[in-house]
């Protein structure tokens, strides 16, 4: 039996602001944005090419905004990813070269922390 991680909840204070950040600045796909009732708003966003999405919303998570665990995405080209984020107005770190890969760090408007990693041993991300 396969076990597939497909959704991670990311607590945010302003769903519209966070959705705009992830879609228009970071480049995630907006898959779903619905209000099924009961004060719930469920927004699913997926990084391009990823099998795992994030979920932001209202009434779905009681964690304080900005307290998601550090999240990491693997990319094929760290320089291109850095340029895309910087060009879209994301406050992004310089490329951090380590023996186990190259990294770029950023945070969403609530302070949820992200790392992008590129590894020579995984040239396609």
Q: What is the pLDDT of residues 13-25, one digit of tens each?
A: 999 999 999 999 9
Residue pLDDT, tens place only, 47-98: 999 999 999 999 999 999 999 999 999 999 999 999 999 999 999 999 999 9
92 and 47 together in one domain: no
Asked if 115 and 77 sit in the same domain, the reply is yes
Q: Which residue(s) pair with 29 in the sheet?
A: 46
Q: Taking a C-beta distance cutoff of 8 angstroms, is the pair 79, 71 a contact? A: no
Output phi, psi for 21, to 5 deg: -60, -55
**pTM more than 0.95:** no
Same domain for 54 and 73: no
Strand, helix or coil for residue 82: helix
DSSP alpha helices (H): ranges in the chain? 15-20, 78-87
Instruction: Kindly state whether residues 76 and 39 are assigned to the same domain.
Output: no
Domain count, the chain: 2
Contact indicator for 61, 9 with CB cutoff of 8 Å: yes
Range of the domain at 53: 1-61
């Amino acid at each position: 039996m396969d076990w597939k991680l497909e959704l991670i909840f990311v607590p945010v204070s302003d769903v519209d602001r966070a959705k705009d950040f992830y879609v228009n600045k970071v480049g995630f796909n907006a898959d779903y944005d619905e209000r099924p009732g009961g004060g719930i708003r469920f927004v699913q966003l997926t990084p391009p090419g990823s099998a795992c999405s994030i979920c932001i919303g209202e009434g779905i998570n009681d964690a304080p905004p900005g307290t998601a665990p550090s999240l990491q995405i693997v990319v094929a080209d760290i320089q291109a990813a850095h340029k895309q984020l910087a060009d879209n107005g994301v406050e992004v770190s310089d490329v951090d070269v380590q023996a186990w890969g190259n990294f770029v760090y950023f945070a969403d408007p609530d302070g949820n922390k992200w790392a992008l990693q590129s590894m020579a041993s995984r040239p396609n991300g």
